[in-house]
Chains A and B, each alone.
Chain A
Amino acid sequence: MKESCSAVSKLLEKYFDQEVTDEEKSVVETHLLDCQACQEVLRSMEELRNLVRAPVEEAVQKEDFQWIWQKIERGIRLEERPTFWETLQSWLQISPLFQRKVWISAAVAVAIILIITIPMFFKKTPSLLDQSVIEYVESQTHNVMIYESENKKVTVIWLFEGPAEETSPS
């Protein structure tokens, strides 16, 4: 008994994709001998495959891929160039000194010394002028100039009696 179209149509796509068993293949091929409609379905699938595949095959045939490989090679070489961080890491790994944990305590000690000494270098030494106060007082009898350092350890007073005269500091 000949299989009906509906039964065979389920197998038709598998047959077209060469995924049927021998038994299924024989069923489909027997049916196809007498069925124009199923032959037409197969032909449509074949045409569709050609539409999708032919331009791709054409493009593959025309292409020379060697220059693509050269571009890939260049791309890889660029990627292989190590970054600063990678260079530093590899140097730390290579150096036997840094393979021991001694460097951790050494680094801590250096950091402490730096923390203590750096502020000393940057400490601003105040100049004498910054700390001193000079006042000048004019009066009818004497003109007075007073120099006083900020910590009040030194006080110098000048007395000026006349326009051209000057007393020595007391």
Chain B
Amino acid sequence: MNPVTPRPKGRGFFRGLNILNIPFLPGLKAGASWSNGVNHDETELISRCQKGDADALKEIFDQYHKKVYRIAYGVVRQREEALDIVQEVFIKLYRSIRFFKGQSKFYTYLYRMTMNTAIDHAREMRRAPFSSLDGMEGFQPSDGVEKRPDSILLHKELEEKVKRVLEKLPNDQRMALIFREIEGLSYQEISETMGCSIGTVMSRLHYARKRIQELLKDYVKEERRG
């Protein structure tokens, strides 16, 4: 999880003064970083990538590919589609990173891009429903006893149900839920990524959980019995 650092205050002239470590503005500390939560290495990495350095993109990929995949898979819940999203996101990132001015944290920029791309893919999938064999390779319980065909089938069914339930949620609620439950972001991080208040994040999470619990209660009961 990314550390949450307070957003620096002051612009232009005041930013310049901060170089001198003058703690005269409220909320400022001497020596505080002005890179908006992006650490030095990452700032340099982004700067290299902005100049077209593909090695820098590789380093960003190494650092973030699993997170991007988690979000993508969380939305589309299909391996091939999620991998396509990862590919698309990093190519998009390489193309558009020169527009990243560092006014927000880098991960919020990347997660937002991932979420938007994933939701676009999910929309296209709904328009052209295609049940691939790949989908059948999804979740397999790791427990040896549960590898029986009937158990695997039950899990497949459950996974399909979860996918359909998530699709029924409004995009805002689904995004909040995926950021929290899958990516494990804090309320603060979700609010920065989604550009809304913490209260709104809590409310979206609450309604998303409530709705999912209603729609999945039978499955949850069955799981407990099983």
List chain A positions with a Cβ less than 8 A from chain B. Answer: 13-14, 17, 19, 44-45, 47-49, 51-60, 63, 65, 68-69, 71-73, 75-76, 79-80
B14 within 8 A of A: no
| Minimal Cβ-Cβ distance residue in B for A65 | B65
Are B94 and A60 neighbours in the complex by a CB distance under 8 Å?
Answer: no
Count of B residues near A, CB < 8 Å?
Answer: 47
List chain B positions with a Cβ less than 8 A from chain A. Answer: 52, 54, 57-58, 61, 65-66, 69-70, 73-74, 77, 79, 82-83, 86-87, 90-91, 94-95, 138-140, 142, 158-159, 162, 166, 177-178, 180-182, 186-187, 202, 205-206, 209, 212-213, 216, 219-220, 223-224
Residue of B158, B182, B213, B220 touching A56 (CB-CB under 8 A): B182
Residue of A17, A55, A57 touching B180 (CB-CB under 8 A): A17
Does more than half of chain B's interface fall in helix, strand or loop, or is it mixed?
A: helix
Taking the closest CB of chain B, its distance from the CB of A134, in whole angstroms, is 74
A63 to B180, CA, bound (A): 22
Are B187 and A17 neighbours in the complex by a CB distance under 8 Å?
Answer: yes
Are B87 and A68 neighbours in the complex by a CB distance under 8 Å?
Answer: yes
Are B69 and A55 neighbours in the complex by a CB distance under 8 Å?
Answer: no
Are A14 and B138 neighbours in the complex by a CB distance under 8 Å?
Answer: no
Taking the closest CB of chain A, its distance from the CB of B119, in whole angstroms, is 16
Are A47 and B220 neighbours in the complex by a CB distance under 8 Å?
Answer: yes
Are A72 and B181 neighbours in the complex by a CB distance under 8 Å?
Answer: no
| Minimal Cβ-Cβ distance residue in A for B198 | A19
Are B162 and A58 neighbours in the complex by a CB distance under 8 Å?
Answer: no
Taking the closest CB of chain A, its distance from the CB of B160, in whole angstroms, is 10
| Minimal Cβ-Cβ distance residue in A for B52 | A80
A contact residues around B86 at 8 Å (CB): 65, 68
Are A19 and B139 neighbours in the complex by a CB distance under 8 Å?
Answer: no
Are B73 and A60 neighbours in the complex by a CB distance under 8 Å?
Answer: yes
Q: With contacts A55-B138, A63-B69 known, is A71 near B87, CB below 8 A?
A: yes
